[in-house]
Chain A
Amino acid sequence: MSVLEVKDLGKRFDTLQVLHGISFSLEKGEAIAIIGSSGSGKTTLLRCLNFLEKPDKGTIIVNNNVIFDAMDAATQKESEVRKKRLHFGLVFQNFNLFPQYTVLKNVTLAAEMLAKERPDYKQNKKAILEGIQENGKRLLSQVGLSDKLDYYPHQISGGQQQRVAIARALALEPDILCFDEPTSALDPELTGEVLKVIRNLAERNTTMIIVTHEMNFARDVADRIIFMDEGVIVEQGKPQEVFDNPKEERTKQFLARYTEGK
């Protein structure tokens, strides 16, 4: 059973059609890497999945529930969008950590807010909050930052900040974790530590969609590659197929430009 099914998703900004009918599905435990040049619509696709943009057409189905249907306004209610977002986690290119909170608080804040909506919050407040703290510490140790719990974002490196952002996204246990060019804002020597964390997640069979320009990383980590160009999925398949035997001319051109530089 697919965790995620995207059908015929379209998005237009004014006169610019950014996504032309994107369809794909994602299995539980699968990691997809989306590659393609800038402006091909990769980021917009992730933003649509996270309800940061509203698609003009198409449907998004998670665990067999239609969570978005462009033709059905009932699926777009603002009050429910907030809950639906929780199916997805998003790691931003620029981390977007909350500067006034410590590393640990960055990870636990959203869970603490959500816990208030639990019916048993008042009775079990202390236990619930302790559980959230423990979970936060566990996640931060998983990304190798146990010694930075009380640091503020500006006191740690970009690579460390991005690892905090990953822990923050994991804290809400999303069905699907999305990465939007997670290493593009980092110095080259800092990308490794972030990629290592993502690789580790892939080994634990975390369901992920990774938009990336790191081709070697995509080949290693992803179960499937999607190549996008000008708002359409040009080609998809296993990493070996797409990288070693691309069928489409546009894929070949794109990959050729990448290998030339190396």
Chain B
Amino acid sequence: MNQIPVIISRLSESFLINCRLFVLTLVFSLPLGLLIAFGSMCRFKPLRWLVRTFVWIIRGTPLMLQLIIIFYGPGLLGMSMTWPNGDAGRFTAATVAFVINYACYLSEIYRGGIESIPKGQYEAGQVLGMTKGQIFFKVTLLQVVKRILPPVGNEVITLVKDTSLARIIANKEIIMMAGEYSSKGLIWPLFATGVYFLIFIGVLTVLFDYLEKKLSYFHA
């Protein structure tokens, strides 16, 4: 019985890996997704085609497979030392794979949001002598944010749970940690991991509700 506090503390410690991966993925994929969205809407056809093909490949294959390819791929191609040794390398590879994967999904949400803004909003900005940048940042951006908040919230919540896929390249995150106990015949730590995810996602849900309320002062 006295091993319970030990197990809890080891689970908590490993959940920090999930949290770190979550934060880093968001920090990089949220802006990168916008860049990809612009690429997929670009008027220059070859670039648009290239970006959309890339998005198709990333959305068309399992994230688990992408993790494996990104971690082992460079080595198999003869590029040694792409990733640092040990845990740091596995975590960096996982972060890269997650960022690319989530940026592609987010880019499609952004694109949908941007394209849903009525043309009249752009035209109103244009006839008032605004630059393209001013129109984007001062006129459309907040309207886009308001519209995409619910689907982005979905994506963010999915990300929390997806972080445990990083175990496929031996990142010792919470499910992997709990799995080591269950393979020794102790099953409850695995069940307990659910509580961590539930609490984390509960907080996120409250946060997104708050943001939606914050933007409810206008209709778009």
Contacts and interface: CB of A to CB of B under 8 A. Distances in A.
Interface in B102-120: 118, 120
B58 to A, nearest CB: 32
29 contacts: A50-B127, A52-B123, A82-B131, A83-B129, A85-B129, A86-B129, A89-B127, A92-B120, A92-B123, A92-B124, A96-B120, A98-B139, A99-B218, A99-B220, A100-B142, A100-B143, A109-B128, A109-B138, A110-B125, A110-B129, A113-B129, A113-B130, A113-B134, A114-B129, A152-B217, A153-B218, A169-B128, A172-B128, A172-B129
A168 B220 contact: no
Interface in B144-195: 146
Interface residues of B, number: 22
Interface in A73-125: 82-83, 85-86, 88-90, 92, 94, 96-101, 109-110, 113-114
Interface of A: 50-52, 82-83, 85-86, 88-90, 92, 94, 96-101, 109-110, 113-114, 152-154, 168-169, 172
B132 to A, nearest CB: 9
Going nearest first, the 5 A-B pairs with the smallest beta carbon separation are A110-B128, A96-B120, A96-B124, A154-B219, A90-B127
B219 to A, nearest CB: 4
Nearest to A111: B128
Contacts of B130: 82, 110, 113
Contacts of B219: 99, 152-154
Given A50-B127, A85-B129, A109-B138, 14 more contacts: A83-B129, A85-B127, A92-B120, A92-B123, A94-B120, A96-B120, A98-B124, A99-B219, A99-B220, A110-B130, A113-B130, A168-B128, A172-B128, A172-B129
Interface of B: 118, 120-121, 123-131, 134, 138-139, 142-143, 146, 217-220
A83 B217 CA distance: 33
Contact of A100 (B124, B128, B129, B218): B218
Contacts of B120: 92, 94, 96
Most buried by B among A50, A52, A100, A154: A100
A85 B118 contact: no
B220 A85 contact: no
Contacts of B126: 50-52, 82, 85
A130 to B, nearest CB: 20
B184 to A, nearest CB: 56
B119 to A, nearest CB: 9
Nearest to B142: A100
Contacts of A86: 129
Contacts of A99: 143, 218-220
B129 A96 contact: no
A142 to B, nearest CB: 18
Contact of B123 (A89, A96, A154): A96
A156 B194 CA distance: 48
